[in-house]
Structure 1
Amino acid sequence: MAATQVIRSEWTKIRSVASTVWTLSLALVVTVALGMLISALTRSEFDRMGPAAQVSLDPTYTSFAGMSLGQLAVIVFGVLVVSNEYSTGMIRTSLAAVPQRGAFMFGKIAVAAALALVVGMVTSFLSFFLGQAMLGPHRAWIGDPGVLRAVIGGGLYMTLIAMFSMGVAAMLRSPMLSLGILMPFFFLISNILGNVSATKKIGRFLPDQAGSKIMQVLPRAGDDTPYGPWGGLGIMALWVVAALIGGYVLLKRRDA
C-alpha cells in the first residue's frame, strides 16, 4: 500500500473514533480554562505577593498553568490512537492490509502527531492570549523577547507528549497498562524526582521536566539547569525517539 493510502487510512481511523477526538478537545478546553483561572488569580493576588515574587513572575509561563492537567488528555489520546486496534483486534486486519509494519506504524504516528500539533498550537496560542488578558497590567506581549518561542514551544511540547505516549503504547499494546505506567510517571514520579533535592539533578532530565523549559521566558530563582529552552526540548525529543524506536522494534519482532 502506498504511503498516501496508509496516511489516508490512518486519518479515517482516528477521526472515526469518538474517544480520540474528545480527548484532544478536552486537552484544549482544560488547558485554556485552567490557564485563564490561574492567570486571573495571579492578577488578584499580585499586590499581596512579596517583592521577590513580583519581580520573578513569568506572565507567559503563568498562562500555561493548565498544561500540566491538559497533558493528561494528550497522553490518553496518544495511547488510544495506538492501542485501540489491539484492544479491538483490528490490528490483524490493519497489518494484513499494510504488511510493511514500519509504514503502518509511522503512518499512524505521522497522522496523529500532525493532529496533535495543530491542536497543540491552537491550545498554546489561546492559552497565552486569554491568560494575558486575565493578567491585565502584568501581562506579557507576543513580541516581547522569548515569548513567541515559549508559545510555539507549548504546542511542540503537547505534540511530543502525544508522540511519547504513542511509542509507549506501541511497546505495551494494552491501553490500561500504558496509562497505568504513563500517568504515575508524569504526575507522580517525575514531580517527586524533580522537586526533591537529592534527585533533582536526575529529575530535570525526564521528558516533561526538560520539555517544559521551552515554555519559560524568565528563569526561576536559583535555577541551575545545565540546558536552555531548546536544549530541554531536545532532551524531550530524544525520549520520544527512544520510545518510538522501541515500539517499532517490538512491532517488527512479535505477532499481532
Structure 2
Amino acid sequence: MSTPPPPQQSPQPPAAPPAQQAFGQQAPPAQQPFAQQPPAQQAPGQQAPGQPAFAGGGYSSPIPVVKTHLGHALASEWTKIRTVRSTMWTLALTLVLTVGIGLAFAAALSSDDYTGMPLLAGGYFGLMFSQICVITLGVLVVTSEFATGMIRTTFTACPQRPRVLLAKALVFFGLAFTVTLVATSLTALIHSSMLGGQTVPDWDWDDPIMEGSVENGELIASSGHWMGATVGASLYVALLGLMALAVGTLLRHSAGAITFMLGVVLVPLLAAMFMVGEALSGLRDALIEYSPLNGLASLFRIPMIGEEPTTGWGMLGLLAAVTAALLAAAFARLTTTDV
C-alpha cells in the first residue's frame, strides 16, 4: 500500500516590513496605549476627581474667620434699630412732645409773677406723654422680629441667645436715654430762661415743695433740681422702656405687651382716684405713692402724695430692681424655650 502524499500548503505572503519612522517622530496615539496624558487644567479651589475631600491643601476662604463677640451683636442691633423707620418717628415724637408741651407750659406761666411750683417742674407734663412713645419702642424692638419670623434669622446668625437680648437691651437703653436726656435738657433750659427770677411771695418760702427753689425771694433751680429733672427723669423713662423690652420678650406679642405696660403706668393712679372712704385710704395712698407717674413726678419735686417732698431717686432704684428682675425672667425664657 502506498502512502498518500501530504497536503500541499499554500504559500504564506512574506511579512510586510515595518513602516519606516522618521527620526524624532512619535507614533500615533493608537500605537501608544500606555502613554502618559498631560493633566487637565483645574480651576483654582476646585477639587480633582477621585481626590479625597481634605487631601493636601484644601480651599481657603478669602473671608477671614474670626471669633464673634458682643461687639458684633451690638453692631447688628444698632444697624437694625437705626434703619427701621418706626424708630426715627417714635424718637422724633418723643422729642417733640417733651419740648413742645414744656415750651407751651412755660409760655403760659411766663406772664405770672409766681408759678406755685419748682422752676423745672413743668418738664414733667411733656415727659408724662412722651414716655408712652419710649415704652412702645421698647416693646417693638423685640416683638417685631417675633411677628415677622426674622428672629429665627437672628438666632441663626448668633446662636448665643443671651448675647442677642443683651445687645438689644444695651442699644435700646442707650438710645432711649440719650434722646430723652436731650429733650429734658432743652425743656429745662427753656423753663430756666423764661421762668427763672420770678418773685416768690413770703408765705411760700417755707413751703416744703419749694425747698431749694427760692433764693433772695426769687425762683431758682438748684443743682439737685437740675440733676433730677434731666438725668434722673431720663433714666426713669429709659428704664420704663427697658422694662417694656423685657415684657415684650416674655409675651412675644406687640399689642399684649404694650397694653400690659400702659396698665402698669396708668392703672395704679386711675384706680386710686376711685377709692373713696377711710377703709381704702391705705391702699389708695400706696397705689399713688408707688405708681410710675408719681415716681417720675417726684424727680421734678412735685410728688402727688406726702407732706414731705421726695427727690424720686428711691423710686428710681425700685424701678431699676423690678426691671432687672423682668430682664432675668426674659433671659430665662429665651434660653429655655424654642422660638
Amino acid at match of 1:202: L
Match of 2:307 among 211, 215, 223: 223
What CA distance in whole angstroms lies between the structure 1 residues aligned with 2:292 and 2:338? Answer: 30
Alpha-carbon spacing, 1:203–1:238, altered in 2? closer, same or farther (3 Å): farther
**Per-residue CA distance 1:23-52 (angstroms, 9 max, x = gap):** 1111011111011112222334x45x8xxx
Match of 1:98 among 148, 158, 173: 158
1:243 maps to: 326
**Aligned pair count?**
245
What CA distance in whole angstroms lies between the structure 1 residues aligned with 2:75 and 2:305? Answer: 48
Answering whether residue 86 of structure 2 is matched by residue 19 of structure 1, we say: yes
Match of 2:224 among 120, 130, 146: 146
Moved more, 65-74 or 154-163: 154-163
Amino acid at match of 1:16: T
What CA distance in whole angstroms lies between the structure 2 residues aligned with 1:228 and 1:137? Answer: 23
**Greater Cα radius of gyration, structure 1 or 2:** 2
What CA distance in whole angstroms lies between the structure 2 residues aligned with 1:33 and 1:87? Answer: 34
Residues 193 and 203 of structure 1 are in contact (CA less than 8 Å); yes or no, is this contact kept in structure 2?
no
Q: Superposed, which structure 2 residues align to 1:36-75 within 5 Å?
A: 36-44=103-111, 46=112, 54=116, 57-75=117-135
Residues 93 and 130 of structure 2 are in contact (CA less than 8 Å); yes or no, is this contact kept in structure 1?
yes
Q: Superposed, which structure 2 residues align to 1:194-233 within 5 Å?
A: 195=273, 196=275, 197=281, 198-216=283-301, 222-223=306-307, 228-233=311-316
| Percent of aligned pairs with the same amino acid | 30
TM-score, length-scaled by structure 2: 0.66
**Per-residue CA distance 1:81-101 (angstroms, 9 max, x = gap):** 111111111011111111111
Moved more, 171-180 or 7-16: 171-180
Amino acid at match of 2:226: L
What CA distance in whole angstroms lies between the structure 2 residues aligned with 1:220 and 1:249? Answer: 36
Alpha-carbon spacing, 1:162–1:93, altered in 2? closer, same or farther (3 Å): same
Residues 35 and 127 of structure 1 are in contact (CA less than 8 Å); yes or no, is this contact kept in structure 2?
yes
Following TM superposition, by how much is the alpha carbon of 1:132 offset from its aligned partner in structure 2, in angstroms? 2.9
Structure 2 runs not aligned, ≥5 long: 1-67, 199-217, 276-280
Structure with greater helix share of residues: 1
Following TM superposition, by how much is the alpha carbon of 1:170 offset from its aligned partner in structure 2, in angstroms? 0.9
Residues 82 and 166 of structure 1 are in contact (CA less than 8 Å); yes or no, is this contact kept in structure 2?
yes
Moved more, 152-161 or 108-117: 152-161
Amino acid at match of 1:24: L
Following TM superposition, by how much is the alpha carbon of 1:111 offset from its aligned partner in structure 2, in angstroms? 0.7
Residues 60 and 140 of structure 1 are in contact (CA less than 8 Å); yes or no, is this contact kept in structure 2?
no
Q: CA RMSD in A?
A: 2.4
Alpha-carbon spacing, 1:244–1:209, altered in 2? closer, same or farther (3 Å): farther
1:158 maps to: 237
What CA distance in whole angstroms lies between the structure 1 residues aligned with 2:192 and 2:265? Answer: 27
Residues 20 and 77 of structure 1 are in contact (CA less than 8 Å); yes or no, is this contact kept in structure 2?
yes
Residues 132 and 140 of structure 1 are in contact (CA less than 8 Å); yes or no, is this contact kept in structure 2?
no
**Per-residue CA distance 1:111-163 (angstroms, 9 max, x = gap):** 11111111111011011112333435438656x24222212212212211211
Structure 1 runs not aligned, ≥5 long: none
What CA distance in whole angstroms lies between the structure 2 residues aligned with 1:149 and 1:252? Answer: 38
TM-score, length-scaled by structure 1: 0.86
Moved more, 176-185 or 118-127: 176-185
What CA distance in whole angstroms lies between the structure 1 residues aligned with 2:219 and 2:304? Answer: 17
Alpha-carbon spacing, 1:101–1:253, altered in 2? closer, same or farther (3 Å): same
Residues 35 and 66 of structure 1 are in contact (CA less than 8 Å); yes or no, is this contact kept in structure 2?
yes
Following TM superposition, by how much is the alpha carbon of 1:234 offset from its aligned partner in structure 2, in angstroms? 0.4
Moved more, 91-100 or 206-215: 206-215
Match of 1:6 among 73, 97, 109: 73
Greater RCO (CA < 8 Å, at least 6 residues apart):
1
Match of 1:184 among 250, 260, 263: 263
SS in 2 for 1:4: helix
